[in-house]
Amino acid sequence: MKITAIRSWLRNMALTKPYTIAYNTFSDVSIAFLEIELENGIIGYGTGSPAEDVVGETTEQTVANLQTDFVQELVGRDIRHFQQLIHECRNQFDHLPGTQAALDIALHDAFCKYIGISVADFYGKKISSLPTSVTIGIKNVQETLEEAAGYAKLGFKVLKVKTGLNVDEDIERILKLNETYQDIFKIRVDANQGYSLNDLKKFMHETRTAGVELIEQPMPVGTEKELLTLDTLERSMLAGDESLKDPHAALQFAASERPFGIYNIKLMKCGGLTGAKEIATIAENGNIDLFWGCNDESILSITAALHIAYSCPNTKYIDLDGSLDLAEDLVRGGFTIESGFMKINNLPGFGVEKL
């Protein structure tokens, strides 16, 4: 079954509310969209929404790459060879994970629609559902509690709280959240590289009774060796994110003493499902738990992350709320959320349809 057309474009989308992390404030997001059409009319959908400050690629670059002659020359190729096509795309767009992800997702979607099964079933689904965390940006204590109250009303069970600007204020927010909602929420923390080692030690000590489940990327990329001064138990609750961009980094951090006990995988960091599966396999062999995250993304790529996450037996946590803050999207379907638990719909491909 041959590919007959490839189309791509850029769409800027507003967020329902701006949010702040340790190094930026966001009010909208640009997303690259891709369609790969087969001769029987099947269309595979893909998206790319890389974070430039993490991987060095903009969505404008993603769309430009998707409109190159190399991509158009995939027209006429057989979708049954989709894994070979992904291999060629990864070589062509090396170190451009947003471009890789868009192509990888669209090729997976088209192929699995062609054979009539979901992507999760293609890889072998190991998990049926997990609770996603929902994210609270850096705010004062009162605003943090108010947003948490809203998530409680919606039935969510896990909060991820952004920190990293002021460790004392962060400690106050976490302690107050735990005091107010300890019977409702589990709490995760994402410092987005905002702490020094002393900040991290202080935060962990002062919040030791608050039931923090994990701390994501507490210190800047390149300072991983400093984390080795923490004891094994402390490091077991640290999740590598910006430090963990690709399988090479996953292998490096799995060797010998480990700065991170948990690996955060984002499709937009590692170039799609193929790169994600490589990291997941390294982690599985190293007895390392997986924490699946996202940027602000379309329902499509969030669903893609769910499919590959649920095919990995070492998946323990998901933080796949990136489409919930979009004021609009170009697709619907893919998954449902019930009391905070995310379930895929098991339709062919990723089970999304274009609006």
Beta bridge partners of 12: 30
Residues 187, 259, single domain; the answer is yes
Residues 62, 154, single domain; the answer is no
Q: What is the pTM of this model?
A: 0.95
Residues 194, 63, single domain; the answer is no
CATH number of residue 139's parent domain: 3.20.20.120
The confidence score (pLDDT) of residue 16 equals 86
Residues 131, 84, single domain; the answer is no
3-state helix, strand, coil in the chain (%, to 5): 40, 25, 35
Q: How many CA atoms lie within 13 A of 214 on its CB side?
A: 26
Domain count, the chain: 2
Q: CA torsion, points 259, 293, 6, 86, in degrees to nearest 10?
A: 30
Residues 338, 323, single domain; the answer is yes
Last residue of a domain, one of 94, 116, 138: 116
Beta bridge partners of 70: none
CA distance 103 to 139: 37
The confidence score (pLDDT) of residue 61 equals 98
Number of other residues whose CB lies within 10 A of the CB of residue 257: 10
CA distance 181 to 202: 23
> Does the CA dihedral 114-333-325-183 come out positive or negative?
negative
Listed in sequence order, the residues at least 6 apart from 159 whose beta carbon sits closer than 8 Å to its beta carbon are 133, 134, 135, 136, 148, 151, 177, 181, 185, 186, 187, 188
Residues 137, 101, single domain; the answer is no
pLDDT tens profile 58-68: 999 999 999 99
Number of other residues whose CB lies within 10 A of the CB of residue 251: 15
pLDDT of residue 24 exceeding 80: no
Residues 20, 78, single domain; the answer is yes
Listed in sequence order, the residues at least 6 apart from 34 whose beta carbon sits closer than 8 Å to its beta carbon are 6, 7, 8, 45, 46, 47, 48, 66, 102, 103, 105, 106
Quote the domain boundaries for residue 89. Answer: 3-116
CA proximity to 352, closest of 323, 318, 325 = 323
Residues 160, 233, single domain; the answer is yes
Lowest mean pLDDT among 16-25, 29-38, 90-99, 313-322: 16-25
Q: Burial level of 164, CB count in 10 A (0-12/13-18/19+)?
A: buried
pLDDT tens profile 74-105: 999 999 999 999 999 999 999 999 999 999 99
The confidence score (pLDDT) of residue 25 equals 73
Residues 154, 254, single domain; the answer is yes
The confidence score (pLDDT) of residue 70 equals 98
CA distance 236 to 88: 37
Residues 96, 238, single domain; the answer is no
Q: Burial level of 168, CB count in 10 A (0-12/13-18/19+)?
A: exposed
CATH number of residue 79's parent domain: 3.30.390.10
164 φψ region: left (φ > 0), alpha (ψ -120 to 50), beta (else): left
The confidence score (pLDDT) of residue 18 equals 73
pLDDT band for position 293 (cuts 50, 70, 90): very high
pLDDT tens profile 324-352: 989 999 999 999 999 999 999 999 999 99
CA distance 37 to 29: 26
Spatial contact of 273 and 108, defined as CB atoms under 8 Å apart: yes
pLDDT band for position 274 (cuts 50, 70, 90): very high
Mean pLDDT of 110-130: 98
pLDDT band for position 194 (cuts 50, 70, 90): very high
Q: Cα–Cα–Cα angle for 291, 327, 130, nearest 5°?
A: 25
Last residue of a domain, one of 60, 89, 116: 116
Beta bridge partners of 239: 216, 262
Residues 327, 234, single domain; the answer is yes
The confidence score (pLDDT) of residue 91 equals 98
CA distance 131 to 341: 4
Last residue of a domain, one of 78, 96, 116: 116
pLDDT tens profile 227-257: 999 999 999 999 999 999 999 999 999 987 8
Residues 173, 31, single domain; the answer is no
Could you give the angle at which helices 167-181 and 141-153 cross, rounded to 10 degrees?
A: 40
